[in-house]
Amino acid sequence: MRRLLVVAMLVVAPAMAVSLSAIAQQPATPSAQPKAEKMASDDVMALLEKGEVFFLDVREPSELEELGTLEGYVNIPLGQIEKRLKEIPKDKAVITA
Average pLDDT, the chain: 75
pTM above 0.75, yes or no: no
The mean pLDDT of 12-21, rounded to a whole number, is: 41
Query: Which pLDDT band, with edges at 50, 70 and 90, does 44 fall under?
Result: confident
How far is the C-alpha of 51 from the C-alpha of 32, rounded, in Å?
31
Query: Which pLDDT band, with edges at 50, 70 and 90, does 6 fall under?
Result: very low
Q: Which domains does the chain have, with CATH numbers?
A: 2-26+35-96 (3.40.250)
